[in-house]
Structure 1
């Protein structure tokens, strides 16, 4: 018994690379091909139009052509990656016919890394027909491993912004410096992020921009001072980062429906009423 099998898989391998780094920060990077990047060591935050994902050792990230993406890591890492264009049949995009997640957990790390090392070794050899066939076969094998990994629960869901504590450091930074001038750029530097992307990611989690959150924290602190101290309006406005008492009063009334003086009187009246027999 025999079978006549004609391959319908075509692949154009553009590069095969091992990358080692101390930190890795890429913003709004756009490429004309697919990049399949396996994390051998480290952990990165990767974002694109598809969402935000955390990828760690044993995960594969798939970056699609002509779609900006970011990769951020503050720790040592090693990535195994190859750049390709892959087609099936009459030229249909492989990754559109077989949609995969942005981040996939590889089912067998040892096998994947061993096959990648074979691919890398071949890629560095002098080009000839046999070498090209072997390279294409190994790329196909690695793609097969990735596809099979999704069947074993390897597809990673996007990070849930409702439970993330990613920007706790920024919140603490604001709370420790409410009386100081703070800029979006200064906050973004805490995470080695582009200020525009930082603001977008922050707002996705808290439904407020960083500057709106700073204003909210300042007014909350001012409210606490009105309730618990006899500080003057000038003193409170300075402690909470407002230009002057007039600016503070307008901002407070907009949020709480009462001016700070009126609010303090209502609090004192409430306390007196509770304390009376």
Structure 2
């Protein structure tokens, strides 16, 4: 005998296609699980601001106002549900998920949603209701597994000091490349302004200031341990040219790179 400990009520299953989409302070009494099949949106809630794009799921919680803004064509697959575990505990409180989650297998998720949507549009009977519940459960399962197996889950706790380790590693691996705040913000599905504000709250530097600091630290190490030319070091560390590198290095360390290297050798 298998006795289920999971209860799910599906309230609506919808496909939305739009040219632009703007919702302000939208509140509902259920969870909305909204998968972006096409497009990109900015979503804001009491938790913060995030950018979600094709292949991401947004989870909107009940009784919490949220905004959704998109200025481009888009298609959303969404379903509204109540989900309970055991003796009535809220599923999403027992298994807290981020605001935006990257789905590990888009094709499978979309195929199962199409099945769910097709059943939802049919005349109701007990057999259909069981199938609808099973498919909704499968989609939730895919979302939970996506957070474990490589799908990105946005954090809900801004006090965690290693929150932006991924961004630091990303910068360090690409010091010689051009980089923007928007590029880094996409790693966390965040609005660039909110990302910069949250990053600065932890490190007391903006993301671009941190990138400059990491570049100069790397340049310092190269000056200490190699005989590379100033032109080569400036390229390795993402500066436009040797003159720009020399000026930035002097402003940070009080000596030009050539003078610093001479002092190291003398020591």
Under TM normalisation by the shorter chain, which class is it? 0.5 to 0.7
Q: Which runs of 5+ in 1 are unaligned?
A: 167-199, 208-277
TM-superposed CA distance for 1:157, in Å, is 3.2
State the match for 2:17 in structure 1: 20
State the match for 1:82 in structure 2: 79
- Any idea what SS the aligned residue of 1:122 has? helix
State the match for 1:184 in structure 2: none
TM-superposed CA distance for 1:156, in Å, is 3.7
The structure having more radius of gyration, on CA atoms, is 1
**Count of matched residue positions in the alignment of Structure 1 and Structure 2:** 171
Once residues 36 and 138 of structure 1 are traced to their aligned partners in structure 2, the CA distance between those partners, rounded to angstroms, is: 13
Q: Is structure 2 residue 120 aligned with structure 1 residue 118?
A: no
Q: Is structure 2 residue 121 aligned with structure 1 residue 139?
A: no
- Any idea what SS the aligned residue of 2:57 has? strand
Once residues 147 and 46 of structure 2 are traced to their aligned partners in structure 1, the CA distance between those partners, rounded to angstroms, is: 21
State the match for 1:9 in structure 2: 6
- Give the TM-score normalised by the residue count of structure 2: 0.59
TM-superposed CA distance for 1:152, in Å, is 1.4
Q: Is structure 2 residue 101 aligned with structure 1 residue 104?
A: yes
User: What is the RMSD computed on CA atoms of the aligned residues?
Assistant: 2.8
The runs of at least 4 aligned residues of structure 1 exceeding 2 Å deviation read 155-160, 163-166
Instruction: Label 1:23 to 1:153 Cα distance change in 2 as closer, same or farther (>3 A).
Output: same
Contact between 2:97 and 2:153, CA under 8 Å: does it hold in 1? no
Q: Is structure 2 residue 28 aligned with structure 1 residue 31?
A: yes
State the match for 1:67 in structure 2: 64
Q: Which runs of 5+ in 2 are unaligned?
A: 156-162, 165-179, 184-192, 201-267
- Give the TM-score normalised by the residue count of structure 1: 0.57
Once residues 49 and 18 of structure 1 are traced to their aligned partners in structure 2, the CA distance between those partners, rounded to angstroms, is: 26
Alignment of 1:184-263 (within 5 A): none
Once residues 85 and 50 of structure 2 are traced to their aligned partners in structure 1, the CA distance between those partners, rounded to angstroms, is: 28
TM-superposed CA distance for 1:153, in Å, is 2.6
- Any idea what SS the aligned residue of 2:154 has? coil
Once residues 48 and 148 of structure 1 are traced to their aligned partners in structure 2, the CA distance between those partners, rounded to angstroms, is: 24
